[in-house]
Structure 1
């Protein structure tokens, strides 16, 4: 979705700011979408804080502090040389060192990384942890590549990136295409170049070399904890609810796992080829084996689960009626038509496990229907919150139990829910998590920027 002059007015002064974003960052529709979504909701805050306008806080927040683009040359197993493009957008450090994941996927571009970094700023602010926002990655496709090829790519990527990161500067983590294996190769190259065992420079590490328990599960678990709070506001629970999840990666798998642990029944998940429908509930152990170990397509799950499960190719998983919908795949995957189907099917709550997976039109349909909707910057903040907990453990040379870390995650997600709900109510929009999340995150970042002066 690319916003233009014909889009609805944002309000006094905000239209001019947005048009300047369009002018300065052309051909970056995802970034435009993310900025507009925030500008659409913070008018009430700006009107009560003239100091934000005088100090041009909106203009400053919309512009990244630093954008790094570099080439990544590497050789495949046949000796053929490839050249990819690497990115790191260090977006805002008003609250702490830059923090955000790395994504290795063919779709990665500057606009994608800027949109993710912009969202990360507010997400990280909502956690209450002392971390700024950033994002990075490369247009490298790890699918079908050998471990040796991925290692060589990661080493080449870190050879350039190492000069821009550090535990007090910028702390990357994983994202799509970057898991524990890739983080290991990245950390090894950083350690080799710098001659320092600086555990806090990356998060999402393996447990034997500085990682934190629950980090792998945190984004999916945290999304479900947020839904649990949403339902509790309406005197309901996850017990007995039917859940549909998009994606079949780390976030989706652990969202399914935690939802079912809390009594729900997750009946479907998906990948780029289609979705599986398992009316008896997804077998998480089988799904982990297929996706984490074998790295096989989702159709393999249905083939092994028969006769109970079926694979539906090329169709959106949202055509299945459900009570809770968790989009956990990628940006703009849940469309206006999908949202209408969910409403018609009686959905009670929708929470974004991925970053901006719902189109603006889909969000409008859900909000107009009165369906509680949690944007990703609030609902999936559990991943980065647990990364901050990993940073704490690295700094103190400590290691916490799974139970203690999960309890802290649940506590943080409850605090984020309360902050979003209270902020929305304070500004006259009770129950609107989009407004609450955007305004609460913006206020925390803006106030910190004011305190630090014109920098």
Structure 2
């Protein structure tokens, strides 16, 4: 379709050298072609051209002192992409790989992910090229305070509500919130992922991982199957991976892998969840420490990874949960997964599979849950935290978890029903993209040229 092609060409000229953003935009625009053919008014209203350009992009300098008193300078970002459905909502990522293209790809994905939840939240994303790994608590605090000193003027409980992402956990959210409160004098639900004793929600930490597993279970149930007794591969070792593993055990599955920046851990008997939590949540250590307690496990360092992919995807299993970062699962990894018996993939990370890998999954007709649908549990529970803050209450873990389960069921149902509407019943990429796009686009049309 020349319309989509021309839009992507213009995007590359207006936003140069933003590869991940182009990839995300192309994936969405390609899959909504059937809708654009069916409903011409989306083109007449310029919806695509409006959607691919953020409503606002905020770039700023972050200056802070390290423990040696040296001045450090990082770059900060907040991209407020679309507010047609509600206040901007999306996490902050602190990682050395962060740049404008990464933030824009994440913010673009967030629009449709948030729309799929059925909740009143728009799409945004932010972060910095600051890497908290190896930094002291005081250095992290000083950086967070400097970052929030600039960001605070652009956010608010009914305007833009950031959350955590890679590199931004409970510690960072605490420092960010404390500085926001100091600068504004307001105690409001402007950040989610807060501490439980000062406005946080039970089950928020677990939500993205739990949600990805619930989504997988919904896909399998539609095929008269379940996760019980399935061997599962999980990447990552942060919140998403840890609580994916926890929920897999609860549903009777056997997770046998996880990974971090140093390599992949494989334990045929099943990952020792208590030990993993101790290493990563309490000690903030490396996965290699796992071998001290389980010498029967195997650790594959990044130097031993196959040139065409990642070791974490090269073991026999029936289900896989990419839960680390973008493009972590290559075409060769996808071929290995399919050859090794994987028939269900539920993405806990944002766009973790390359475009060619996704094509292979769709051609194989397996259960494939794309990230914008499968990992929406985190942002959904963030919105539940906003609701609790607004009413000055705190719900029980069970209540939040039950709501999360229903939200993930709703996301799956909307994606599945839309895929069937367009005669591609096993293509949840198409279903999720069209369902999310249509909800946002219709709201944009209703609200006029804003």
TM-score norm. by structure 1 comes to 0.97
- Residue matched to 1:154: 144
1:67 to 57, 67, 76: 57
Alignment of 1:211 onto 2:206: no
For structure 2, list consecutive stretches of 5 or more residues without a partner in the other structure: 306-310
Alignment of 1:394 onto 2:381: no
Further displaced range: 311-320 or 324-333: 311-320
Please state whether the residue corresponding to 2:393 is helix, strand or coil: coil
- Residue matched to 1:449: 444
Deviation at 1:302, TM superposition (A): 2.3
User: Separation in 1 of the partners of 2:242 and 2:297?
Assistant: 17
Give the number of aligned pairs: 443
2:80 to 53, 77, 90: 90
Q: Deviations over 1:143-185 (max 9, x none)?
A: 1100000000000000000000000100000000000100000
Map 1:181-196 onto structure 2 (within 5 A): 181-196=171-186
- Residue matched to 2:286: 297
Alignment of 1:35 onto 2:25: yes
- Residue matched to 1:5: none
- Residue matched to 1:137: 127
- Do 2:335 and 2:360's aligned partners in 1 also have CA atoms closer than 8 Å? yes
Deviation at 1:267, TM superposition (A): 0.7
Q: Deviations over 1:60-118 (max 9, x none)?
A: 00100000000000001110000000000000000000000000000000000000000
Q: Deviations over 1:229-288 (max 9, x none)?
A: 011011011110000001011100000000111000001111121111111111111000
Alignment of 1:246 onto 2:235: yes
Map 1:9-20 onto structure 2 (within 5 A): 11-20=1-10
- Residue matched to 2:43: 53
User: Separation in 1 of the partners of 2:434 and 2:240?
Assistant: 26
User: Separation in 1 of the partners of 2:42 and 2:449?
Assistant: 12
TM-score norm. by structure 2 comes to 0.98
Please state whether the residue corresponding to 1:135 is helix, strand or coil: strand
User: Separation in 1 of the partners of 2:149 and 2:301?
Assistant: 41
- Residue matched to 2:326: 331
User: Separation in 1 of the partners of 2:261 and 2:187?
Assistant: 38
- Do 1:276 and 1:302's aligned partners in 2 also have CA atoms closer than 8 Å? no
Deviation at 1:303, TM superposition (A): 2.6
CA RMSD of aligned residues (A): 0.7
- Residue matched to 2:308: none
User: Separation in 2 of the partners of 1:250 and 1:356?
Assistant: 17
For structure 1, list consecutive stretches of 5 or more residues without a partner in the other structure: 1-10
User: Separation in 2 of the partners of 1:350 and 1:300?
Assistant: 28
- Do 2:365 and 2:426's aligned partners in 1 also have CA atoms closer than 8 Å? no
1:413 to 391, 394, 408: 408
Alignment of 1:361 onto 2:356: yes
- Residue matched to 1:275: 264
1:320 to 315, 318, 325: 315
